Amino acid sequence: MSAIGSLVFCTDCGNLLDSSTGNKNTILVCDCCGAENKDTASKIITTSTKAASFPSLLRQKRSAVQTVERSDMQNEATIAETCPMCGREEVRYSAVQLRSADEGSTIFYTCDCGHK
């Protein structure tokens, strides 16, 4: 029988045996081939890791509070809408969520002439 942590495998067929009791006198019977195996796994396994053990660019960029500048976001697009001030037929628009998530977003139109 081989044990990897708390998992115990049959030595004859490699099937995963029933859960270990941690008692070395216990006999585990394989459901697949019927072989009897002694329980060699330990009852308690404690592992601990540090964030530095698994470095990633995403973890390095993560912080508790994230600040996004409006200038960093590409949130404007153009639409065929007539500006009421200058008559231009294409204006930029952006959608901003000003209220709670179950409310609709607010659309802001901006023309090159400065009219909003």
Read out DSSP for 27-89? EEEPTTT--EEE--S-S-------GGGS--HHHHH--SS----GGG----EEE----TTT--S
Global confidence as pTM: 0.36
Is 33 annotated as a binding-site member?
Answer: yes
Where are the chain's structural domains?
A: 1-45, 71-116
- Does 83 show up as a binding residue in the annotation? yes
Q: What is the dihedral of CA 70, 73, 74, 75, to 10 degrees?
A: -60
pLDDT string in tens for the chain (116-residue length): 455 566 778 888 888 887 766 667 778 888 888 888 777 766 566 677 787 777 777 777 776 666 767 666 667 888 998 999 999 999 999 888 888 888 888 889 999 999 98
Quick one: fold of 71-116?
A: N-terminal domain of TfIIb (2.20.25)
Q: Is 86 annotated as a binding residue?
A: yes
